[in-house]
Structure 1
Amino acid sequence: MPSSPAPVLHYIFDPLCGWCYAAAPLLAAARALPGLAVQWHAGGMLSGAARRTITREWRAHVIPHDERIAALTGQPFGDAYYNGLLNQVGATLDSTPPIAAMLAAEAMDGRGLDLLARAQTAHYVEGQQISTLGVLQSLAGELGLDIRTFTAHCQEVLADTVQSHIQESREWLQASGGQGFPTFVLEFTDRSSGQRVAQRVDIGPWLGNPAGWAEHLQQGLERAAGALPRD
């Protein structure tokens, strides 16, 4: 009898979403679980017509959210972000370039989520403008990716596939019943029915507790496989 497809954790997010940065330790814990694949879907929160520039009003809007994230999860926010980047009035906030960079890194070496993690630190701790190609090239180089190849991939993705990826990600969000970014959906084969099912997973109780989240995910996988009784 052929084996069932491996369980997949779908991650629907945006690289410029503060609450996705809050969930970054949960994503890292999920990626470390044996036998669980992670598939990402970047939804373009600040893409296209939603792209914006930093203003004093934007700074006043996001800082209370960032402070709440820091208190809840322990995620670091640097002075270079609070008093550097957020004071750069007129700087562009555009989700499309970092999404394209992730797609390029994924195509080159399966490193899309590694680039996301590095870009989030660059933005929220180091105050770098991750919507600019030069910054993204530098981050890719830090990951050991060939910058010329990476740049060519980025340009190709920006011209061809990034918009379809964003649209498909938004369709994933709608189909999952998620209310926004981030949303996690666990897809697995139900042993009792043999059917492939997808269930949205609430991360609210686990923000700031990646070890508990990993245990919760593991128990869910074991229940799906029939190794544990259902609640």
Structure 2
Amino acid sequence: MSSVKPLRLTYAFDAYCGWCYGFGPALHEFAAANAERIELRVLSGGLFTGPRALPVSAYPHIPGANERIAQLTGVTFGEGYRAALTDGAVVMDSADAATGLVALRSRPGANALDAAAAMQRAWYVDGRSLSDAEVYRDLATDLGLDADAVAAAYASPAARTEAEADFLEVRRLGVDGYPTLLLHTAHGTDRLGGPVSSADALTHALDQHLAATAGA
């Protein structure tokens, strides 16, 4: 058993961020490839909160952005999601989504990155609102978690408070866009890659940091 401390990383994302959806597969591959040496936490950034929590129809740039995301990352957007875009009524409320992530990731045996990906599939594939408590019951079941416990957590003030703490922590870290993957170092944080980085590119960036640290 290695006694080397794992490298700490923070993934700042938003469940309603299309670029985060596009980045997800590469990040998952990177996390799996480096599982023995990294410790990854997932925080919600709060992209659509307060006056920005509006029906998806209020953001007419989204379909065009999705085309670009698909071209650059290879992800696909599902029929359910396209129907939700056409209807335009789903309110994108990142505070609700962040609370849902807290409810999922706080369960024993939960993997926060898997939970985040499941939430994004619910929206970007199936077109389901991330403000719907039933979504979290279904995701909990899919993830092998206690659906009743997740539903109770989603409804709790404590989960909402923790979600708001995520937003504050992301701001404290200086994140100004999503997705952002940060490596915590002795002197602060370094950003690894960008929205269209491959898993190999992320691993290479991590290796470069380690080599630079070793040579310092």
Q: Percent identity?
A: 28
For structure 1, the 5+ residue unaligned runs are: 189-194
Q: Does 1:167 align with 2:168?
A: yes
1:96 matched residue in structure 2: 95
Partners of 2:77 and 2:163 in 1: CA distance: 29
On the 8 A contact 1:140/1:150 being kept in 2, the answer is: yes
2:205 matched residue in structure 1: 216
The secondary structure found in structure 2 opposite 1:23 is helix
Q: Does 1:148 align with 2:148?
A: yes
1:200 matched residue in structure 2: 191
The secondary structure found in structure 2 opposite 1:108 is coil
2:78 matched residue in structure 1: 78
On the 8 A contact 1:51/1:92 being kept in 2, the answer is: yes
Q: Which piece of structure 1 moves more, 162-171 or 208-217?
A: 208-217
Superposition pairs of residues 44-193 of structure 1, within 5 angstroms? 44-55=46-57, 58=59, 60-82=60-82, 84-109=83-108, 110-156=110-156, 157-172=158-173, 174=174, 178-188=175-185
Partners of 1:90 and 1:6 in 2: CA distance: 44
Shift of 1:179: 3.2
1:36 matched residue in structure 2: 38
Deviations 1:77-128 (A, max 9, x none): 122212x110223221111222112112222123222111111112112222
1:192 matched residue in structure 2: none
Shift in alpha-carbon separation, 1:106–1:126, aligned structure 2, 3 A: same
On the 8 A contact 2:102/2:159 being kept in 1, the answer is: no
Residue 63 of structure 1 aligns with an amino acid whose one-letter code is: P
Could you tell me the TM-score, scaled by structure 1's length?
A: 0.81
The secondary structure found in structure 1 opposite 2:118 is helix
Shift of 1:38: 0.8
Partners of 1:218 and 1:29 in 2: CA distance: 16
The secondary structure found in structure 1 opposite 2:120 is helix
Based on CA coordinates, which of the two structures has the bigger radius of gyration?
1
Shift in alpha-carbon separation, 1:43–1:208, aligned structure 2, 3 A: closer
The secondary structure found in structure 1 opposite 2:42 is strand
The secondary structure found in structure 1 opposite 2:204 is helix
For structure 2, the 5+ residue unaligned runs are: none
Shift of 1:50: 1.9
